[in-house]
Structure 1
């Protein structure tokens, strides 16, 4: 099977991809696909045959709640096994995020997860962008928003018990979160992207949402 890819990438690259074989060596809650392929080279011709496994875990959305009246944001804190495996502190400060379910939009997921993970009602959403998380080995994308905080139900912890979630929320000034990021306390990539975007766009966003 041959697939021509036209005008891909940010630099308007054109190229050809020849998919020789695609198999699925593992199918569980997640899936692993194995690709054998060749692709066109920048200096002309085709590459040799390459084999890569791709982790298929679905696509996600994430949202950073922001109150334009108070300048406060909501970050969540929870245990992450991946951070433990990477020998990093496993309780991470993060934005609200989750997997997009079948027939669900990223916007609807953001509202749903804000309720589940932070007891938070969101109003307007401002899309920040859609990002590949680990394109060298996974197809996962995350669509990231900044969301208008309308109300938060105060509880000691949040999350779905049946999913093993134990989540604590932190409502802090955006400027304090920017400082945490500069100090290296934010180790989750999508959270860093959200905070950097808000630092650059906070004044304009407040004008839009007033």
Structure 2
């Protein structure tokens, strides 16, 4: 269905304007237009934060999901509660596979041990491709909820993480979503996928 692909883009230059924990690069490029002509040179700032993994821990037998609660400064500008309900997530370290990230982050953020065979891919998606290059790898992890330390607080001190665990029935998670209590994109997308697919997981 898509008429063009990456071969129809010509990147003229990429210049790093800022490099800290994240980076901002300025792209200058042209691309093919639907008229068949070529665009003028377009200049765009791109937020380069690397790719990330999101892990949705779900106990199929008990029909419960594990949510984590943590502070997110990006929610402050919208006057929303900056403590968000989310799924486990993290960025790639050097030479890590998505499964490696999922296993590591599950231990760091929720003190749960998961195996590669417990993890299933859900989808990959671009967070906000108009201004950010991040790709999210979303996975489902089958867990035993009796081993979850509900109310436990975890996370890495060196990353200023302060993470509280909540174990909730799937329907309650859907109710929180419907009530607008879950406001971050990755958790919304994961729960909507679960709503469509949970019956096939039984």
TM-score (norm 2): 0.92
Note the alpha carbon deviations across 1:99-131, whole angstroms, 9 max, x for none: 011111111111111111111222411211011
Q: Does 1:147 align with 2:134?
A: no
Structure 1, unmatched stretches of 5+, are 1-10
- 1:97-112 mapped onto 2 (5 Å cutoff): 97-112=89-104
Q: Which of 31, 34, 39 matches 1:39?
A: 31
Specify which structure has the higher proportion of strand.
1
Q: Which of 44, 49, 53 matches 2:45?
A: 53
Q: CA deviation at 1:87?
A: 2.1
Structure 1 stretches of 4+ moved >4 Å: none
Q: Would you say the 8 A contact 1:65–1:122 is kept in 2?
A: no
Q: Does 1:138 align with 2:128?
A: no
Q: Would you say the 8 A contact 1:76–1:169 is kept in 2?
A: yes
Number of residue pairs matched by the alignment: 196
Match of 1:157 in 2: 153
Note the alpha carbon deviations across 1:66-106, whole angstroms, 9 max, x for none: 01110011000000000012322101000100001111111
Q: Would you say the 8 A contact 1:92–1:186 is kept in 2?
A: yes
Local SS of the residue matching 1:180: helix
Give the RMSD, CA atoms, in angstroms: 1.4
Note the alpha carbon deviations across 1:146-166, whole angstroms, 9 max, x for none: 101133245631111111111
Q: CA deviation at 1:12?
A: 2.9
Q: Which of 65, 70, 73 matches 1:78?
A: 70
Local SS of the residue matching 2:119: strand
Q: Would you say the 8 A contact 2:151–2:166 is kept in 1?
A: no
Match of 1:126 in 2: 120
Inter-partner Cα distance in structure 2 for 1:154 and 1:191: 19
